Structure 1
C-alpha cells in the first residue's frame, strides 16, 4: 500500500526508517503503547518486520525529506470492518500531520479497501488522539471503564485504564467533505 497526501507518504517500512522509529518509540507517550517501547535499532528493525496476526503497519514519512514521523496500523476484523491506530513523533506535533495521515488512511480504507465501518480504541488520558478522532467526524460510541491495564501503579498493582471507542461509517465519511475535515 502507498498513500500520498499533500505533505506525507504512507508506505511500507524501509530499513532507513529504523532511526526515526526508534526516536518516537523509545519512549511511548501513552500507556497503551508501553509494550511497543523500543530500546535499540535492532529492536526497531524487528518491530518493522513483524506485527500481530492480521495487523498491518505502515510508515508515515515526510514527502520531501522521506523521514519517518510516525506509523499507522490497521487490523481487518472482517470483510468490511477495520480497527485503526497510530503513533506519531512528538517533535512533529501541532502541524496537522497526524490529521493529514489519518485522513489519508481512512479515505483509502473506505474508497479502496471496501471498509464499511472503521473504529479505534483511545485511552481516556490520550487527549490528542481523542481530539483527532472527533475532528475527523468519528463519534464516541462508548467508554469501557477500567478496560485494560498496560502498566502497574507504584505499589505494583495493575493500573486499569478507561478506554473510549470512536467510529465512523462509510456513509458518514462520504457525507463529510474532505475540505471540512482538513479545515477542522
Structure 2
C-alpha cells in the first residue's frame, strides 16, 4: 500500500521503521496495545519484518522525512467489512495526524471494496473515541467487561468496557458531499 496525504505517507512497513516503532511501542499508552509491547530494538526489527509481510498494518510517516510516527491497520472480514485501528507516537499527538491518516485509510478501503468499517475504543480511551466521531462513525454500542489486555494486581484479568463505532460506505459518501 502507498497513500499520500497533504502531510503524510501511509505505506507498507520497511526495515528503517524499527527504531520509530520501538519508540512508541516500548511503553504502549493504552492497554489494547500491551500485546504489541516491544522490549528491544531487535524485537522491533522482527516486528517490522512481520508487519511488512502480513499486509494489515501500515506505517504512517511524515511526508517530508518519511519517518514513522504511528501506524494504522485494517483487517478484512469477508465479504466487505473491515476492522480498523490506529496507534501513534504520543510526541505527535494533537496535530491531526491520526485523523488525516485514518481518513485516508478509510477512503482507500471504501474505494476498494468496503461496505462497512468499524473500530473499537475502550471506554477510557477518549482520544480514540473522539477520532471515531471526527471520522463520522456512529457509536453502535458498549460491551461491558468485553476484553482483558492486562491483569489486576492480584493476577486476575482486568476486563475493559469497549465501545464499537462504525460507518457504512453510503454514510461516508454522504459525509464527503457536505
Match of 2:9 in 1: 9
Contact kept, 8 Å, 1:55 with 1:76, in 2: the verdict is no
5+ residue gaps, structure 1: none
| Equivalences for residues 1-184 of structure 1 within 5 A | 1-50=1-50, 56-111=56-111, 113-177=112-176
Instruction: Single out whichever of 37-46 and 61-70 deviates more from structure 2.
Output: 37-46
Contact kept, 8 Å, 2:22 with 2:41, in 1: the verdict is yes
The two structures, once aligned, show a CA RMSD in angstroms of 1.5
Contact kept, 8 Å, 1:54 with 1:76, in 2: the verdict is no
Question: Residues 146 and 54 of structure 1: is their aligned pair in 2 closer, same or farther, counting only changes over 3 Å?
Answer: farther
In 2, distance between residues paired with 1:116 and 1:154?
42
TM-score for both structures, normalised by structure 2: 0.95
- Give the secondary-structure state (helix, strand or coil) at the position aligned to 1:71: strand
In 1, distance between residues paired with 2:38 and 2:168?
34
| Shift, 1:54, TM fit | 6.9
In 1, distance between residues paired with 2:32 and 2:41?
21
In the TM superposition, structure 1's runs of 4+ consecutive aligned residues that sit over 2 Å from their partners are none
Contact kept, 8 Å, 1:31 with 1:150, in 2: the verdict is yes
Contact kept, 8 Å, 1:54 with 1:75, in 2: the verdict is no
Give CA-to-partner distance per residue, 1:108-156, whole Å, 9 cap, x none: 0001x21000001111111100000011100010011001111111122
Contact kept, 8 Å, 2:14 with 2:49, in 1: the verdict is no
